[in-house]
Amino acid sequence: MEHPLHIFKYCPKCGSSHFVVNNEKSKRCETCGFVYYFNPSAATVALIRNKRGELLVCRRAKDPAKGTLDLPGGFIDSFETGEEGVTREVLEETGLKVERATYQFSLPNIYPFCGFEVHTLDLFYVCEVDDTDFVSAQDDAQEAFFLPIEQINPNEFGLASVRKGLMRFLKEL
């Protein structure tokens, strides 16, 4: 697989076309000396269960994977912790307020966006919310609902890292 740096042709600092491979993770500008490292973006995934043990799932309202199942989550903003990011994303997508977010594990992912492959590191959190009765699909979610664990089919989830993380989560229950 080709590293995503291959599509960057110009130095982001000075605009020079003398932007060359420095090593497998970076490019260097021969004009101004700037070195650019391409690192993954951080993203979150929320695992939320209600009192009946059902898992909160969403249906994606937008591409990639529009119309498929997903778990609440998204990109972490600058200056946010993972816990703050997952809390914000859950609120934006479902209207639920996270009381506690507990980190579980991470998985690398490639998120296709506008014809560009965004490399991400997806951080999975078990999230506790006080009131799961008033979930409401918002923002990037077309639907948000609780699904009994035994009815969850990871193949119905459109994003590879969510499928893989969901399988891991279900196996550990």
Tens digit of each residue's pLDDT (9 = 90 or more) over 115-170: 888 899 999 999 999 888 889 999 989 999 999 999 999 999 999 999 999 999 99
DSSP state of 96: P
Distance CA 166, CA 161 (A): 8
Q: What is the mean pLDDT of residues 73-96?
A: 97
Three-class DSSP category at 74: strand
Query: Where do you find CATH 3.90.79.10 in the chain?
Result: 41-172
The class of domain 41-172 in CATH terms is: alpha beta
pLDDT at position 2 over 80 = no
Distance CA 170, CA 98 (A): 21
Q: Which residue has the tokens 């799932």?
A: 57
In the prediction, which pLDDT does 1 show? 60
- Over the chain, what is the mean pLDDT? 94
In the prediction, which pLDDT does 6 show? 83
Q: Are 120 and 110 in contact (CB under 8 A)?
A: yes
Q: Which residue has the tokens 């507990």?
A: 102
pLDDT in tens, 108-128: 998 888 888 889 999 999 999
71, HSE (Cβ side, Cα atoms, 13 Å):
29
